[in-house]
Amino acid sequence: MNKLVKPEGAYPAIIGGERVFTAQSIEVIDPATGKAFATVARCGAQEVDLAVAAARRAFSTWRLTTAAERGRLLSRFAQVITQHADELAALESRDTGKPLRQAKVDVAFSVRYFEYYSNMVEAVFGSVIPAATDRFTFTTREAYGVTGHIIPWNYPLGIASRTLAPALAAGNCCVLKPAEQAPLSSVRLAELALEAGFPAGVLNVVPGLGAEAGADLSGHTGIDHVSFTGSVPVGRKIAEAAAGNLIPAALELGGKSPNIVLADADLDVVTPVVASAILQNAGQTCSAGARLLVHRDVHTELVSRLKDIFASTTIGAGNTDPDLGPVISALQHQRVSELVEIGRDEAELIHGGGRPAGAAYEEGYFFEPTLFDHVAPQAAIAQREIFGPVLTVTPFGDLEEAVAIANGTDYGLVAGVWTRNIGRANWMIRELHCGQVMVNTFSNGVELPFGGRKKSGYGVEKGYDALLAFTHVKGAVVMMSKD
Ligand code: ADP
Ligand code: MG
């Protein structure tokens, strides 16, 4: 490990409470310009080894802290993040390209995760089990030990906080590998954790490439659990690496989530939410509402309203706070473009379809809000995750058909249902094959468990369930005696 002098604009790894600069670094790109504006450490096997060892050392005392102590630290961390909210939002907006106000929401979510688990940490109980009367039989909940966390670039701060807060609350020590496309807020988060008073080594961050630091971490024999959010192919690799070490993995992968609008829905409420469910973060959201399934009675009206919103969407660099920023990278722009080209032959393009016209959009990775109508359920654009600001519209005739289309992809993450009929809403909740259903809204707080079915992965994030998921249960039996 080389602790080199900090070059200008260089972000380190955080290992055992130290800022660590590596010999090689990675350029960090501003998606609005395509130009580098910072560099970050490029960790490899050596740094990952050191981070895992630092976490293991820290665990020897962290495991003996009380829930109340950890709760207080998490709460102080939430305050420190709040004090740095503007700085973090500006950094996140620059690094990911997302509109500033969306980055501010991400910071608020980050704060909320640490606050939520700081409150909840004292509610982790074992149980006393009625068994033979000559012995005392009970369970306790224990932390795994060292947990690995590999996260993507779309909501770096939000997802880092989502996975770290319950892991730390449960008493684990963490090693986080942020995505190479947007690593900076993770580094700042670890620095702020030290400022908040977390002991050295409890939270380590090893920026680097997926095939290097990512693979080194997920395959490391010194970790006890791995959490991953990202793509299906990499999720499979993480699961294989975890299987090699016989440790549990939690995988939050992609989605192709539907918003299902029944004929009785209030279109005034539906329209802006359905639009923002795909345009927020330029559609680069695992739980984006990427497919609109709409009853044929309201189909024409809703598409016309959506077209108006898409046409009036402002586009620009994230820090100018437009409605829509660029996508993350040239590669992502190309992926979106290719699927949209396929879509032109499959469906009716209503709006958008490519890079917006104008000099301001030539350098960065901008893509127009794009709306396809009359999309067949089996079309490639209705089946494959596009991860861009592209909405497909498919009309349906009855509820059975709507559910069949909704369930008819490889994914199963979330679904939105829009109706004022409570019986139908409840029937849909039962029949939809996904981890979360939202009725007459498309927002979900930190409190509601979140996790996929099918190729959307397995494991659970958020809510009380995520806290329990970072523990395992120990059973104990103690014989009674009078002497
Ligand atoms: P995307 O395709 O959207 O960029 P990925 O699934 O490739 O998403 O990336 C999510 C995270 O997984 C990133 O932190 C990335 O560096 C990491 N990653 C990529 N490849 C591997 C790998 N082979 N092993 C472990 N982590 C990886
Ligand atoms: Mg970036």
Mean predicted lDDT score pLDDT of the chain:
97
What pLDDT, on the 0 to 100 scale, is given for residue 7? Answer: 58
pLDDT for 166 equals 98
Ligand 1 close to Cβ of residue 230 (< 6 A): yes
**Selected catalytic residue, list 286, 368, 385, 461:** 286
CATH numbers and ranges of domains, the chain: 10-253+457-475 (3.40.605.10), 258-445 (3.40.309.10)
pTM (global) more than 0.95:
yes
Say whether pLDDT at 167 is over 60: yes
Residue from 150, 153, 175 to probe ligand 1 pocket by mutation (most atoms less than 8 Å from CB): 150
Percent of the chain with pLDDT over 70: 98
- How far apart (Å, rounded) are the C-alpha atoms in residues 93 and 162? 19
**Alpha helices per DSSP H over 347-470:** 380-383, 399-406, 422-431, 463-469
Q: Which ligand is nearest to the CA of 184?
A: 2
**HSE toward the beta carbon, residue 143, CA cutoff 13 A:** 27
211 in contact with ligand 1, CB cutoff 6 A: yes
210 pocket-lining for ligand 1 (C-beta < 6 Å): yes
Segment 446-453 shows an average pLDDT of: 97
What's the average model confidence in pLDDT over 298-318?
A: 98
- Tell me what pLDDT residue 4 has: 46
- Mean pLDDT on 377-381: 98
Using DSSP bridges, classify how beta strands 249-252 and 457-458 pair: parallel, antiparallel or unpaired: antiparallel
Largest separation between any pair of C-alpha atoms in the chain? 88
CB 373 within 8 Å of CB 347: yes
Task: Answer yes or no: are the C-beta atoms of 392 and 380 closer than 8 Å.
Answer: no
Count of CB atoms situated within 10 Å of the CB of 342: 14
**Centroid of ligand 1 to alpha carbon of 434 (angstroms):** 23
Mean pLDDT of 174-186: 98
Q: Which amino acid is at 49?
A: D
3-class DSSP assignment, residue 338: helix
In the predicted structure, residue 364 carries a pLDDT above the cut 60: yes
- Per-residue pLDDT for 175 more than 60? yes
> Atom 12 (ligand 1): residue with closest C-alpha?
210
Give the tens place of pLDDT for each residue, 334-343.
Answer: 999 999 999 9
Q: At 358, which amino acid appears?
A: G
- Give residue 267's pLDDT band: very low, low, confident or very high (50, 70, 90): very high
| pLDDT > 60? residue 305 | yes
Catalytic status, residue 18: no
* pLDDT given at position 6: 55
Cα 293 to ligand 2 centroid, rounded to whole Å: 33
